[in-house]
A and B are shown apart, each in its own frame.
Chain A
């Protein structure tokens, strides 16, 4: 592996993040980033459940429910927007350690993600711990995951 010193460099807006890789929906409307302990960062991000989104029209036709996996997608896009690229690669979700979906998100509900990231380890991976809260203050989900910037050939080198 080349000696790219892994570091966080916020350099993307949510709209840019959505446009630069395959994604089921624009899952983040805004992101705020602040420095965290030991070189890590803290982020806050949010979105509103839009029943006209194409994937949500199928989940479900009679009632919009934001799927648990889309909460993961919101976390992923928030992380991507917040940490930026490393050697031209986007960070990817490598290991989902734990995800828990505790309360449903329906059409018009807002979702706020509060997450702590990092620090980045030598193998270009970093841990993310996220709490996701619905507009009425109810905790909607918790997510713990390892993200990493893939190495150059895009394949699994371990």
Chain B
């Protein structure tokens, strides 16, 4: 199964510029997902850099890389759950995430996400992120707790 950007927007509450997944190339519900994120110099994380900084300062922020992987994990959980389950997974804990190589504008990241375990109200995912043949990050355990969707979508009542 392949999901384009419109399908991801329909699944996730995140919006520009915080929707950090461009498309999903492959999903085996309950098991695994491959998600794609293309990094562009147009992203707002590059707007604040002072002139004249060296090349290494343009590395894609680790915080956004981790969020992007986490959104892949969220999509995998959403496509794996029983039809009667409501709510959205919120990233609540991580263990042993290793950043191996910097990612730069122009790079296309492939997140390979595995759904490890789903317990009552919580989900655990693991996996790795790749640019071409090079692994750029490893995720031993990412934990999400499922929260009611209306807590995000319909606030301030």
Contacts and interface: CB of A to CB of B under 8 A. Distances in A.
Direct contact between the two chains A and B in their complex (CB within 8 A):
yes
Interface of A: 18-24, 26, 54-63, 65, 67-70, 72-73, 76, 88-90, 92-102, 150, 154-156
B106 interface: no
Interface string B1-45: 000000000000111111100000000000000000000000011
B119 interface: no
B53 interface: yes
The 4 closest A-B pairs by CB, nearest first: A58-B18, A63-B155, A58-B15, A96-B97
A69 B96 CA distance: 14
Contact of B60 (A22, A58, A59, A69): A22
A101 B145 CA distance: 10
A69 B70 contact: yes
Given A55-B18, A63-B155, A63-B156, A20 B64 contact: no
Contact of A62 (B48, B59, B156): B156
Nearest to A56: B18
Contacts, number: 125
Contacts of A69: 63-64, 66-67, 70, 91
A58 B91 CA distance: 16
Given A89-B56, A95-B98, A101-B92, A23 B61 contact: yes
Contact of A21 (B13, B57, B91, B93): B57
B79 interface: no
A64 to B, nearest CB: 9
Given A20-B53, A23-B48, A24-B64, 13 more contacts: A20-B57, A21-B53, A22-B61, A58-B17, A62-B152, A63-B156, A73-B61, A90-B56, A90-B57, A95-B97, A96-B66, A98-B94, A156-B100
A68 B91 contact: yes
B81 interface: no
A147 B28 CA distance: 35
A65 B156 CA distance: 13
Given A22-B59, A63-B152, A98-B94, A72 B16 contact: no
B87 interface: no
A60 B45 contact: no
Contact of B63 (A54, A76, A98): A76
Contacts of A61: 15
Nearest to A73: B63
Contacts of B102: 92, 154
A153 to B, nearest CB: 10
B46 interface: yes
12 contacts: A20-B49, A21-B57, A23-B45, A24-B61, A58-B16, A58-B18, A60-B153, A69-B70, A95-B99, A98-B95, A98-B96, A99-B94
Contacts of B97: 95-96, 99
